[in-house]
Structure 1
Amino acid sequence: MSEEVTAKDSIVNRISAQSIVELHFALKLDDGSVVDSTFEKQPAKFTMGDGSLLPGFEQVLIGLPEGVRQAFLIKPEQGFGMPNPNNVQKVKREQFAQDIELTEGFMVSFADANKAELPGIIKSFDEQWVWVDFNHPLAGKTLTFDVQIISVRQPDQMSD
């Protein structure tokens, strides 16, 4: 009986470092609120190591077989990191359009030196200055990463 289980188990595709993975996922905060989810739409498909997922999220997937659904607690250090106080910048209020009503928590977008979009959250403001937090909104947060593995393929199985 144990030989049969071992033989079957070797047939099941498990996630490894170069696997092509299709999965559903949900990211949840400590209070249970869902930040992002694919469960109600198309599953995510990616190759492990391609940068689609942060390394801390990929690490918990290694070894999981097709068909499994599991939830993992992702600490900030394995997720989006800890907030960096240097990422809170003081910007002259005059750099904001006159018609923008500034409120704490409002998301604004700037262009960096390479003209790439750089989103920030207004942390506070006064008559002359606006403090904008450019940390990732999930920095410092412990997340629950709920995954359902739909399929796992290895690069050499792509013709199957």
Structure 2
Amino acid sequence: MSELTVTADSRVLAQLVLTLADGSVAESTRVNNKPALLTLGDQSLSPKLEAELMGLTVGSQHKFSLAAEDAFGPTNPDLVQYFSRQAFLDAGEPEVGTIMLFGAIDGSEMPGIIREVSGDSITVDFNHPLAGHDISFDIEIVEINPVLEEQNENLTG
């Protein structure tokens, strides 16, 4: 039997360490030993990131860097929005750096980061927190196409 490899429609459990250009670690799944689930082919990952994962096998370790536009995208100024303090009455006093969930028009929720609190104006950034950053990836493939507990629940529920 041939070993499973990452393909265009794989789900991959992977340990990740993401490092910024200044050498600081932006994200590490190794801290809590909770691998991330990456789904190829669903538009959640950039094409260049997916290309780096293709052909890897369980146990593979791969280090590579991507420019901002190929990692989490450039910062989009249209995703920075301004709200009045009134909009935050139920949520309490907003603090810079806090990540909050906001209801979208379609009923889904989007995370936004409070960037500035000035008088009656609250600036919220809906860009991915790593957008606009060149990222170095250190990835170890833990499992390919894992059976997920949620899938079983969805089938019965």
The number of equivalent residue pairs is 143
Point out the structure with max Rg over C-alpha: 1
Q: Which of 64, 67, 70 is matched with 2:62 structurally?
A: 70
Match of 2:72 in 1: 80
Within the candidate set 114, 118, 121, 1:126 is matched to 118
* 1:114-147 Cα distance to aligned partner (Å, 9 max, x none): 2211221122222221111111111101112111
Provide the residue aligned with 1:23 in structure 2: 14
Task: Report SS of the residue matched to 1:123.
Answer: strand
Residues 106, 16 of structure 1: alpha-carbon distance in 2 compared, 3 angstrom cutoff: closer
The 10-residue stretch of structure 1 (131-140 or 58-67) with the greater mean CA deviation from structure 2 = 58-67
Whether contact under 8 Å (1:38, 1:44) holds in the other structure is no
Q: Please list every run of 5 or more consecutive structure 2 residues that lacks an aligned counterpart in the other structure.
A: 146-157
- Counterpart in the other structure of 1:113: 105
Please give the TM-score of this superposition, normalised by the length of structure 1: 0.70
Residue 146 (structure 1) aligned with residue 138 (structure 2)? yes
2:106 partner SS: coil
What root-mean-square deviation, in Å, do the aligned CA atoms of Structure 1 and Structure 2 show?
Answer: 2.8
Separation in structure 2 between the aligned mates of residue 108 and residue 75 of structure 1, nearest angstrom: 27
Counterpart CA distance in 2 for 1:73 and 1:13 is 25
* Alpha-carbon distance change, 40 to 127 in structure 1, aligned in 2, over 3 angstroms: closer
Structure 1 gaps, min length 5:
1-10, 154-160
TM-score by length of 2: 0.71
Percent of paired sites with the same residue: 34
Q: State the 1:32 CA deviation.
A: 3.1
